[in-house]
Amino acid sequence: MTPTPGRLRWYMLAILLLPIPVFVASMFIGTYYIPPGVVLQVIFNRIVSAFSSAPSSSGVYGTIIFDIRLPRIVLALLGGIVLATTGASLQGVFKNPLVDSYILGIAAGAGFGAALALAFLPSVLAMSQILAFAFGVLAFLLTFLAARTRGETPIVSLVLGGIIVTALFSAGISLVEFFTNPNQLAGIVHWLMGSLDSATWNVILEILPVTIAGFGVIFLMRWRLNVLSMGEEEAKSLGVNIGRDRLIVMAASTLMVSAIISVTGIIGWIGLVVPHIVRMLVKTPDNRVIIPLSAALGAVFLITADDLARSLFVFELPVGPLCTIIGAPFFLYLLKTRGGAAWRQ
């Protein structure tokens, strides 16, 4: 049953506010146990010191909370927003509910760049992030140029181009792994599995401008995604420049995703599963609603997955496989019980 406008507004408000309690609750979670009362006291002391000249004296607990946990939670927030938003927007551009940002070859390209840096330039500071970002963008450009013929970029050609580019860079990753030594190979495998353990305030500040700019572009264009979802003939009849709008959305998505996975490694399923959950909850394909709600729910998804990754055991799990374990069964359930209903509504 489609929710009434009043109920829809309540659904939207609840989803948009959901990241706040999840964000706060995550401050209490970690492999190093800190009593909740101590966490609250440390946070209170830091807030008080921020508005006064008195220095903060939170000690080790303050370091754990504000220099380890908080940057990680913020990175999970940004990563969830980026991956879910790009998944929702590209599903609208491609008119295909099975598309996410990785179909453009971004993940494979970024993985190849990171593998090169970890294997052959391990001592160069931040080189894995730089090459991951650069090759992620390069992979998208190769996909786009391979698909573009006679001034147009057909959807089918883009998908096929993405598959080809992904295969090429995946083969490159395999060759890099073959030629590297076992110590560096462990680092490559760890990066490819996805993790948020590299989160620092410096890293967040480096990727923040790109993620904010990319999200702003997609958010402002969310009504145009509705037009693109109607089909080429309908969009052209309304005077929309399809090629330009598609390129803008894909370029913004590429920059955001490349920036995130250059830090986190490859984390899948969020861009595929979260938009479906949102459509199932609000029962509308309107991207003016889907985009902001996907961003909020994507943040909740990745923050929660990372909380589980760093608290289930005494050692830390990679978050990429954990997202797959959470997302794949849900998507299979959605596919078997609802078919394409979540997309068509």
HEC letters along 280-295: HHHCCCCHHHHHHHHH
DSSP 8-state assignment for residue 67? I
Residue 14 has pLDDT above 60, yes or no: yes
pLDDT band at 326 (very low <50, low <70, confident <90, very high): confident
Q: Cβ atoms within 10 A of the Cβ of 197, count?
A: 16
**Per-residue confidence band for 214, with pLDDT thresholds at 50, 70 and 90:** very high
Can you give the pLDDT at residue 31? 83
In a domain, 211, yes or no: yes
Specify whether the CB–CB gap between 269 and 320 falls below 8 A: no
Q: Which residue has the higher pLDDT, 184 or 139?
A: 139
pLDDT at 342 over 50: no
Q: Quick one: DSSP state of residue 154?
A: -
78: pLDDT confidence band, cut at 50, 70 and 90? very high
Q: DSSP letters of 221-290?
A: THHHHHHHTT-HHHHHHTT--HHHHHHHHHHHHHHHHHHHHHHH----SHHHHHHHHHHHHH----HHHH
**Domain assignment present for 203:** yes
CA atoms of 341 and 325, how far apart (whole Å): 23
- pTM listed for this prediction: 0.89
Length of the chain: 345
Q: Is residue 1 in some structural domain?
A: no
Residue 98 located in a structural domain: yes
- State residue 227's pLDDT score: 83
Quick one: how many helices (H) and strands (E) in the chain? 17, 0
Report d(CA 6, CA 53) in Å as an integer: 47
Predicted confidence (pLDDT) at residue 328 exceeds the cutoff of 80: yes
The answer to whether position 32 is within a domain reads yes
In the prediction, which pLDDT does 343 show? 47
Provide mean pLDDT across the span 258-269: 89
Between 154 and 261, the more confident residue is: 261
Q: Is 2 domain-assigned? A: no
List, for residues 37-77, the tens digit of each pLDDT value: 988 988 888 888 877 765 555 688 888 999 999 999 999 99
DSSP 149: B
What CATH number should be reported for the domain holding residue 238?
Answer: 1.10.3470.10
Contact (CB, 8 A) for 267 and 82: no
Residue 22 — pLDDT band, cuts 50, 70, 90?
very high
302 three-class SS: helix
Residue 255 pLDDT > 60: yes
pLDDT tens for each residue of 185-211: 888 888 889 999 889 999 999 899 999
Q: What is the pLDDT of residue 125?
A: 75
| 76, part of any domain | yes
Q: Which two tokens stand for residue 290?
A: 């889907």
Domain coverage including residue 224: 7-344
pLDDT in tens, 95-140: 777 778 888 888 899 889 988 988 888 878 778 888 989 999 999 8
Structural domain total, the chain: 1
Q: What is the rounded distance in angstroms from the CA atom of residue 29 to the CA atom of residue 35?
A: 10
